[in-house]
Amino acid sequence: MAEILLPLLVLCPLAASLLVFLSAGRMGARAIGTVACAGVGISAVASIILSVMLLSGPVAGGLQVTLWPWMRVAGLSADIAFTLDRISMVMVLVVTIVGLLIHVYAAGYMRDDPGIARFFGCMTLFVAAMLVLVLASDLLCLFIGWEGVGLCSYLLIGFWYDDPANTAAARKAFYMTRMGDVALLCGLLLLACATGSLRIGTVLASVADGRLPASGVNVAAAFILVGALAKSAQIPFQAWLPDAMAGPTPTSALIHAATMVAAGVYLIARVHDLFAMAAPVMALTAVLGALTLLMGACTALVQSDLKRILAWSTISQLGYMFLVLGCGVWQAALFHLMTHAFFKALLFLTAGAVIMRAGHEQDIFRLGGLRRAMPGLTAAFVAGASALAGLPLVTAGFYSKEMILSGVWHVHFGLAREWTLSGHPLWGIALLGAFLTALYIFRCVFIVFCGKAGTRAAGRTSRLMGIPLVCLSVLSLFGGVIEMPDTLPSLHLFSALLNPGTPLSHADEPVWLVLAGALAPLAGLGVAWVLWGRPSPVMREIPGQAGVIRPARTGRGMDVLYDRVFVQPFRLLAWLTRLDIPGHAITGTGRLTRAANAGILGARAGLLEMLAIRATGTARWAGHLPGLFQNGRVRWYAAWIAGGLCAGLAMAVLS
C-alpha cells in the first residue's frame, strides 16, 4: 500500500495544480478552491495513513519507494525515490495538514481576486514541490524540490505584479535564495565526488565510516549551511523575507511561516550526522542562530507594519531553530518547527482577516480598539501571540522553547582537543530573545486590539476563513503537550517518536532553569502592558526614530550594506564592460604600435639613403684621387718615387 500512497502524496497536489492552471478562465472561484483543497486534502489523509503504517511497523524501519532510476554514470548513481521515516513524517504532516488549513482559508480570502486560478495553481504546486523536498531519499531529488519551492515562492511573492514593489520583492527573494542554492549544489557535488552517491543513507554511512577526511566534511557542511541560511532567511541572508510580505497573506502563512523557510532547518536535521562530524560548522550555526534571533526580535520591536512584525518574528524564531541545531539537539529544532508552523500560520491568517476588514490598513498605529468589532479574531490573535511568546503551561510555544533552552544550556562545543565552548552565553541570548518576543508581540496586541479606536472595521469574517483559525488556535495552545520538561510531569513523546528508545531527557535539569524560561515571557508581557496596554500607555511609538532605529524600522540597513558591498562593485564592472575600456586600450595600443613601426621604417629608410649617398660620394672621391697622381708631369713622378724610397729606407732602419 505504501507503494501507492507515497507517490500519491505528491501526485495529488501536482495534479490539482495542473488542472487549475489548464482550466484557468473556465472554472469559477469556488470550483478552483474546491479542486485545490481536495488535492491537498487527499495528501493530508494519505500522510496520516502512512504515519500510522510507519509507527505500527518496525522501530528502525521506514517506507521507501523507488519510482525510477534517474542516472547511472561512472562513479555516481541517482534515483527518483521517496522515503518516509520518522523525521520526514513530522514534516509531511506539517506540510499537508497546515497546508490544507491555509488552502481552506485562502478559498475564502481570494474568492474575489481575478487571478485566483493562477494563485491556487502556484500554491498547490508549491505543496507538491515541498513534499518532494521532504520525501526525497536522494539529495539530488531533494535539490529538485528545493528549487521548486524557490520558483513557487517567486511566483507567489510577485503575484500582484502590477505593483513594481511586488516584482522587486520577488526578484530580491529569488536572487538571494539562489546564492544559497549555488552553495548547496557545491556541497552536494562535493559529497557526490567523495562518496560516489547522493543517496542520503549512503552519504551519512560514508561520513560515519570515516571515508571523508575531516576537511572535506567541514567544507561540505559549510556549503550546505550556506544554502540553509539563505532559504531560512538567517544572517546574512535575512533581508528578503520581510519584503516577501508583498504577496497575499495565505502565501505568507504557507511559504514564509510554516514550510519553505523551514526547509533549511529540515535539511540540517536530515543530515545531522554529517554536521555532528563538523564541530566548527556546528559552532558557527549556533552563533549565527543566536545573532539572528536577537536581531530579528529587536527589529520586530520597532516595526509599524503588522505583517512585517510577523515576518521579523519568523526570522527570529528560525534563529532559535538554528541555534539548537548548532547545539546538536535537532529534535528540539523539529519540535519548535512544528509548533511554530501552528502559531505563526495562525498569526498570519488572523492578521490577513484583520487587514481585510480594516480596509487593507496594515499600520498598527492606525488600528486600535478592534477587540470590540472583532472579538473572534482578537481571541485567535491572542492565542497565537501567547504561543509565540511561549507563555508557560498554556501554550505550545512554551514547551518547544523550553526544550530549546534546555538543550542549549547543556551543550559544550569541542572546537579543539583542549578547548571547549560552553553554551551558557548562547542560553542567555536565547532567554533575552524570549523576553523580547513577548514584548514585541504583545506590543502589537495591545496597540491593535486595545486602547483608542482607530480604523473602522467593516464586514464579517467568513466561516470558510474562520474554521482554519479555530483549528490552528487549538493546535497553538495544546499542540506542545507531547513533550514536557522533566521538572513537570515528564512526557517525551515527540523525542521518543524521533529516537525510539532514547528520548531526549535531562533528569538533572535544575528547577530554576525551567522557571527562568517561564518568567522571561511573563516579564515581557508585563513590560508590554505597562508601556502600551494600560488605558494611559507610557508610550505609543519607540522614541528616537532617527539614528540606528530608522534603518531597523525600515529594514533597509542590510540592503544598503549589500548595495555597497555587492551591487555597486558589480555596477562598476558592468559600466566598465559597457564602455569597453579593455577594447579601447587594446585598440590604442595597436595604433601606437603601428605609429612606432611606421616611424622605425621611415628612420631606417632615411639612414639607408644617407649611407648610400655618402658611400657614393666617397667612391667618387676615391676614384678621383688616383687621377691627381696621374697628371703627366715626370718631375712629380720622380719626386714621389724618391719620397717613397726614403720612407721605406727609414722604416727599415728604424725597425
Label residue 422 by pLDDT band (50, 70, 90): confident
Which of residues 606 and 229 earns the better pLDDT score?
A: 229
- Helix, strand, or coil (residue 71): strand
Position 542 pLDDT exceeds 80: no
Write down the pLDDT at residue 611.
86
User: Could you read off the pLDDT of 264-279 as tens digits, one per residue?
Assistant: 999 999 999 899 888 8
pLDDT over 70 (residue 574)? no
Q: What is the 3-state secondary structure (H, E, C) of 599-652?
A: HHHHHHHHHHHHHHHHHHHHHHHHHHHHHHHCCCCHHHHHHHHHHHHHHHHHHH
Mean pLDDT is lowest, of 320-334, 365-379, 530-544, for 530-544
pLDDT at 37 (0 to 100): 94
pLDDT for 480-514, tens place per residue?
888 887 777 777 788 888 876 666 666 567 788 88
Q: What is the pLDDT of residues 199-227, one digit of tens each?
A: 888 888 888 888 888 888 999 999 999 99
Q: Each residue of 588-616: pLDDT tens digit?
A: 788 888 888 888 988 888 888 888 888 88
Mean predicted confidence (pLDDT) in 167-173: 90
The pLDDT of 549-576, averaged and rounded, is 64
Report phi then psi at 138, rounded to 5: -120, 135
- Distance in angstroms (rounded) separating the CA atoms of residues 452 and 89: 46
More confident residue, 72 or 133: 133
In 3D, which of 555, 569, 564 has the Cα closest to residue 238?
555
Q: Which three cell numbers stand for residue 432?
A: 533575552
Q: By percentage, how much of the chain surpasses pLDDT 90?
A: 40
Average pLDDT on 30-58 reads: 90
Residues 544-556 have pLDDT tens digits of: 444 445 555 555 5
Whether 581 has a pLDDT exceeding 80, the answer reads: no
Which three-class secondary structure state does DSSP give residue 202?
A: helix
Residue type, 359: G
Q: State residue 309's pLDDT score.
A: 93
Whole-angstrom Cα Rg for the chain: 38
pLDDT at 467 over 70: yes
Look over the chain and give the mean of its residue pLDDT values, rounded to a whole number: 85
Q: Which of 129-138, 254-263, 358-367 tops mean pLDDT?
A: 129-138
pLDDT for residue 404: 92
With a cut of 90, say whether residue 11 has pLDDT above it: yes
Higher-pLDDT residue of 217 and 410 is: 217
Least confident of 294-298, 538-542, 651-655: 538-542
Residue 546: predicted pLDDT: 41
- 542 Ramachandran zone, left/alpha/beta (phi>0; psi -120 to 50): beta
Taking the alpha carbons of 179, 183, 189, 192 in that order, is the dihedral positive or negative? negative
The proportion of the chain whose per-residue pLDDT surpasses 70, expressed as a percent, equals 89
Mean pLDDT of 188-199: 87
Confidence class for position 629, pLDDT limits 50, 70, 90: low
Q: Does residue 3 surpass a pLDDT of 70?
A: yes
- pLDDT tens per residue across span 338-354: 999 999 999 999 999 99
What's the pLDDT score for residue 547?
43
Cβ contact 293:342 at 8 Å: no
- Give CA–CA dist 480/388, Å, rounded: 12
Choose between 21 and 570: higher pLDDT: 21
Closest CA to 448 of 386, 362, 357, 388: 362
Question: Looking at per-residue confidence, does 53 or 540 come out higher?
Answer: 53
Using DSSP's 3-state secondary structure scheme, residue 404 falls into helix
61 pLDDT tier (thresholds 50, 70, 90): low
Quote the distance between the C-alpha of residue 275 and its chain's center: 18
Phi, psi of 216 (to 5 degrees): -65, -40
Residue 639 pLDDT class (50, 70, 90 cuts): confident
The per-residue pLDDT for 545 is 45
Contact 297, 388 (CB under 8 A): no
Task: State how far the Cα of 408 lies from the Cα of 410, in Å rounded to an integer.
Answer: 6
